[in-house]
Amino acid sequence: MVHPLLRGGPYANASLKFELLLIVEQKRTIKFLLGLNKDLDEVRGRVMGIKPFPTIWEAFVEVQREESIKKLTITNTNISSIVKGLALYTQIISEKQGWQRMPLV
> Given a cut of 80, is residue 19 above it in pLDDT?
yes
- 13 belongs to a structural domain: yes
Query: Domain span at residue 85?
Result: 4-95
Q: d(Cα 87, Cα 83) in Å, to the nearest integer?
A: 6
- 103 belongs to a structural domain: no
pLDDT tens digit sequence for 20-61 = 889 999 999 999 999 988 888 888 999 989 888 899 999 999
Which of 52-75 are b and which e, b meaning 16 or more Cβ less than 10 Å from the residue's Cβ? eebebeebeebbeebeeeeeeeee
- 83 belongs to a structural domain: yes
- 70 belongs to a structural domain: yes
The confidence score (pLDDT) of residue 31 equals: 94
The confidence score (pLDDT) of residue 32 equals: 92
CB 40 within 8 A of CB 65: no
The confidence score (pLDDT) of residue 9 equals: 61
- 105 belongs to a structural domain: no
- 100 belongs to a structural domain: no
Which of 19-42 are b and which e, b meaning 16 or more Cβ less than 10 Å from the residue's Cβ? eeeeeeeeeebbeebeebeeebee
Q: d(Cα 5, Cα 22) in Å, to the nearest integer?
A: 13
For the chain, the domain total comes to 1
Residue 98's region, left for phi above 0, alpha for psi from -120 to 50, else beta, is left
- 101 belongs to a structural domain: no
